[in-house]
Amino acid sequence: FELEGELRKGLESQQLRLYLQPKTNRDGLVYGTESLVRWEHPEKGLIPPDRFIPLAEDTGMIIPLGEWVLKETLLLMKEHPHLTFAVNISPRQFRNCNFVEQVQQLLNETGADPKRLTLEVTEGLLITDFNQSSKRMLELQKLGISFSIDDFGTGYSSLSYLKKLPINELKIDRSFVDGLPDDSSDALLVETMMAVAKHLELLVVAEGVETQEQQAYLYSVGCNLHQGYFYGKPEPAEQLLARLKKT
């Protein structure tokens, strides 16, 4: 099975599916979502993104694929004016020379409100090519878009970039949430991240929250924005949004 060709065909023949995972605030309310793509292969069934995103990144397919995810997300925004929407942007997609224009054009086309859009990027992106990345982030910030650092804490990078870039939010990687509340080094790391975020006035989202004990610990250290199976798994966009509209 020749993945690259199949993925190209899959994108063209509308086999990609937009899934959303809820983000919950201290009141237990869903205030936003993260877009997570899946590939519904006609024979192989639902393929998770870690099986095709790296390939898409290597082959450049991430450019049309990422554009699809962004556009599908922006199209949902008008109907759901009380929610924020986060989209993962891979390094190659972000570095593509047309990225800013592409985002601008999709915003114009869909009429989506950029103030409710967050782009999730990884630390690695910011370290390599710092000057280019920061210039581009500032251009997108001017449009009203926010930035979140995904998988925060896994990149082994210096923290100095946090104050030099237009970043609004950190997402604590789920590997640090896993061991809470008992693992004392995870607890210390999470508390340290909270202190850094407070100092720099950044929002913090904890990823991979699966238990009530993790929830309680995170609340106790002031981390009030949560994402994880405890609140909801990624599910088809229409399904989650329909449920949120009813409540």
**How deeply is 95 buried, as exposed, middle or buried, from its count of CB atoms within 10 A (0-12, 13-18, 19+)?**
middle
Q: Which stretch binds ligand G (CB under 6 A): 98-106, 107-115, 123-131, 208-216?
A: 208-216
User: What are the residue ranges of helices labelled H in the chain?
Assistant: 3-12, 53-59, 62-77, 91-95, 99-110, 123-127, 130-142, 161-164, 174-177, 184-200, 212-220, 237-246
Q: Which is nearer to Na ion, 151 or 186 (CB)?
A: 151
DSSP 89: -
The neighbouring-strand residues paired with 22 are 33
Q: Which is nearer to ligand G, 89 or 241 (CB)?
A: 89
Q: Which stretch binds Mn ion (CB under 5 A): 14-22, 111-119, 145-153, 182-190?
A: 145-153
Binding string, residues 127-166; x marks residues near Na ion by CB under 5 A: -----------------------xx---------------
Binding string, residues 45-84; x marks residues near ligand G by CB under 6 A: ---xxx--x------------x--x---------------
Distance CA 106, CA 72 (A): 10
Q: Residue numbers of the site for Na ion (CB under 5 A)? A: 150-151
Q: Which residues here bind Mn ion, judged by CB under 5 A? A: 88, 120, 150
